[in-house]
Amino acid sequence: MAQILTNVIEGYHDLMDNKSDPRVNDWFLMSSPFPTMCICLTYAYTVKVIGPRLMENRKPFDLKYTLILYNLFQVIFSTYLFYESAAAGWASHYSLKCQPVDYSLNPLALRMARGCWWYYFSKFTEFLDTIFFVLRKKNDHISTLHVIHHGIMPMSVWFGVKFTPGGHSTFFGFLNTFVHIIMYSYYLIAALGPQYQKYLWWKKYLTTIQMVQFVLVMVHAFQLLFIDCNYPKAFVWWIGLHAVMFYFLFSKFYKQTYVKKDKRVKVEDQKDDEKTKKSNFMLCFTTQTALYEKTDDVKEMSKGYTSDGNRLRNRVFIDNPRA
């Protein structure tokens, strides 16, 4: 047992010290995965347990201006990251088919590596999305999808920065930062107030864009299983399976939020139409108002109906003929 533990520890140090990218080993939070793991676990426990308990007997915070500034910051930060990934590779010499990692000290290679590192930190700033939900007591917004999505991403990106800060896998960050520009622009408009709600009709399509993003990442990653490319297959599976997982989580959210909602609306509309038809059938008196009001044309009746042979007739048409 002791030998097995020794082998595990030695294998871990060999992986971290000898098989990772030496350029990033001394960068902040890059020496070990455990600080990142602790931060992610603390985040999940805080937003699901501690936060709601602390806010249970408190009034929700009014964070209007905080949300405006936060979403504006995220739009600017995402734009910067998108620009860096484009300028360092995806808008110039990077190939969509096969792009090995450049581990050299080439300025563009280092620029891409630094961009990956800053992208890693952007996953921590996104924790504030959930913390703001807690402070505003929007606990119904803190779904499993939301917590998994935000809680896993820093850990996932850490491995990318540690071992492959550049090359094929950065396509995910390139697409993701573009989507986040759109997403946080939506949240920014929403934070401005109810008078801007009319400009937010495209929320449904925002989720669609996110799902398309994951499909593109899947195709882009898994193509290397059929192509000879000098890129670690482990990261092909790592990125590809993350995209698959997030696609199905977002797909489930889309169906619950939009598809089922549309069906409920249609059923309710059909019920309303049926009620209207029934109501119109039951109230088809040609002179309904006259039945309840005294006018020159309609006099008070001692009885409502009278017999006319084998049928009943309303006396308003018998005793009160029009002049």
Q: Which residues are catalytic?
A: 149
Residue type, 293: E
Instruction: Say how far apart CA 23 and CA 104 lie, in whole Å.
Output: 9
Residues 191 and 71 sit within 8 Å (Cβ to Cβ):
yes
Return the exposure string of 204-227: e unless at least 16 CB atoms fall within 10 Å of the residue's CB, then b: eeebeebbebbeebbebbbbbeee
H, E, C per residue of the chain: CHHHHHHHHHHHHHHHHHCCCCCCCCCCCCCCCHHHHHHHHHHHHHHHHHHHHHHCCCCCCCCHHHHHHHHHHHHHHHHHHHHHHHHHHHCCCCCCCCCCCCCCCCHHHHHHHHHHHHHHHHHHHCHHHHHHHHHCCCHHHCCHHHHHHHHHHHHHHHHHHHHCCCCCCHHHHHHHHHHHHHHHHHHHHHHCCHHHHHHCCCHHHHHHHHHHHHHHHHHHHHHHHCCCCCCCHHHHHHHHHHHHHHHHHHHHHHHHHHHHHHHHHHHHHHHHHHHHHHHHHHCCCCCCHHHCCCCCCCCCCCCCEEEECCEEEEHHHCCCCCC
Instruction: Say how far apart CA 250 and CA 209 lie, in whole Å.
Output: 10
**Nearest to 199, CA basis, from 189, 210, 209:** 189
